[in-house]
Structure 1
Amino acid sequence: MASIKHKLRIVLSFFCLIYLTSCQTPKEEPISFPKKEQTEIEIAILMPNQGPDSIVGKQYKDLIKMGLNDGIKSYIHVTSYDGSDEKNVLAAMDKIVARKTKIILGPLYSNFTSLIAEKAKANDIIIITMSNNPALAEDKLFVFGHAPLKQLIRIINYYASNNHKDFMALLPKGKHSQTISQVMQNILIQNNASLSRTEFYEDNPESIAKAARNISDNTDIINERSDTTKPVIYLSDDPKNLNLLADSIRKYNLDKKAILIGDHRIDIDYPENIDISFTGSLNLLNSNVPDRAKDLGINHIGFMHLLSYDLGRMTANYIGNEFASERFLNRMNSRQPYIGLSGNIYFIDGVAQRRYDIIRKENGIYSTVSGN
């Protein structure tokens, strides 16, 4: 009996050995390491939500958030703070530091950016301000705002180099308008053209109507000459006064007997179609951002709205899959253009550079007259 049991053990052991051998595979299974858990990135948006800039501040904030959401590939947490005055900006900065924030998008103006610059630097926080003051730029402080005078130079040079010799300006009274007039004169002298008339108006309908009439009269005199092309009239103002100007433009047919030009700000929703040329980009035309912006209560997308969206999306793109300060800064400083809705953007010494196209809006239809 013992002999039979012994033989059975041998047989069973043999079959078990065969079974275990047949279960082995000639290939090793890959070893999977657990993925490194991503750290949530804290981003601050510092825009005014009180006072005279509260409406645009909210619009810019919402578009920055939209851009972040459209471009983000990593975990972020966005906190919005009030940047309407010095007291609120300083209070916000304390909270921003306490939250271990990595990036601040904003403020809107130079003076508020200066207020927080040192504290941000001490706490290794990157700032991308919407100010256009290049003097603010530092190692981790980027100036994202646009420079209106660069747009002025671009569009005046374009029309002066295309055989237009007679220029006029229709501007609100103020120091900035005096600067515009002087810059125009300097550019036109170099192009053998002239600034034949400048009208400065006050902030009321009567003054605007009178200035427009004087420009119209001068336009008629120029057009009576046989040796000239259409005169060019430069406009620059806020939407309120531009809408008042629109009444006089239609009354005197100014957009037909002259070429009306300006920077991106003159592209507003006029009561009726007015033909204009301005600096900007048509990258927006193939985008759904305007329709989505309407859902947020933003019915007209101006250049600063596009800039706000680009600020959010560019930031998200440069963060990538996971935030690393050095990599983010390298991307900001690479001079590789970011193709945004407001145009192609890159940085030199921390200051945003933009390539402005010349856009023509005629009978409500937009087209690019000249790329940069």
Structure 2
Amino acid sequence: MNKILVTGGCGYIGSHTIVDLIQSGFDVISIDNNSRSNVDILNGIEAITGKKVTNYSIDLCNYEDTKNVFRENRDIVGIIHFAAYKAVGESVSNPLMYFENNLGSLINILKCAEEFNVSNFVFSSSCTVYGNPDEIPVTETSPQKPGESPYGITKQMGEQIILETIKTNNIQSILLRYFNPVGAHPSILIGEIPFGKPANLVPAITQTAIGKLPSMLVHGSDYPTRDGSCLRDYIHICDIAHAHTLALNYLIERKNKVNPEIFNLGTGDGYTVLEVIAAFEKVSGTKLNYTLGPRRPGDVIAIYANNDKAKTELGWIPQYNLENMMDTAWQWELKLKNTAI
């Protein structure tokens, strides 16, 4: 089997992608220092797939430790790089931490890919690279505006680092710009485990509904959108995960026409914060305790994807609708209430 290294494999998107990779016939190892994840999620992966995944609990910002993983696994044929800090608000308050972690880890993993001749590289990018777009939906060729947060800037800089690096070696790369991953695996054996107060909308909704949080604040009610709240493209985590497997196969089979290839991963539909709350209330039968508050620094007003390229080139078709997303997120929250994870 082809061995794939997934960095951040114990994280939300990483864990779901590992499941999809294994179910698609790949052998997978993970690097995750578990500073923002829970190693117990590997038990859920094993329960779903029947495969035990090895995780190396090292910091990717330590080059020698990272290099040792490649020395031990010389049969790696592809890398999917997720590992990064991702909270917009935290990046605004602590930008240097984000630049050091997100860019340092990327540089080290690229150095190892080059040294150990791993030629297939999929990068976890983000729709934040578009900033506040002039027109929506955004396509892969939409101009990049200034990043609205240090987190978004690290994704813009990360893409640029990859672009310049692959000019000098044989690494083939895909940049996946995804929108807002939500929900949980339909088995409800793995899902999102926020650390601290959730910075993302859906875990904030579910934690409020279950009573972990007393109430939820909607950041901004005066945006130029349908109802005044921010508008985003929410995509089920399993749809996002499967796109990574498709992207990896696309590279392995050398179907890429340019290097790097760029794909938007979103449903192509935009929903406001208040519309997402309404969808959750419908599927859960639970009235959410929320209030409208001021805008949050770093938030983009409105963005959603044109996903035509991913559909055409990768054959990627999202399978889950908004109510599916909210239902699996809620079922996962209910499970967390009754488990040790």
**Larger RCO: Structure 1 or Structure 2 (Cα < 8 Å, ≥ 6 residues apart)?**
2
Q: TM-score band, normalised by the shorter chain?
A: 0.3 to 0.5
More helix by share: 1
Larger Rg: 1
More strand by share: 1
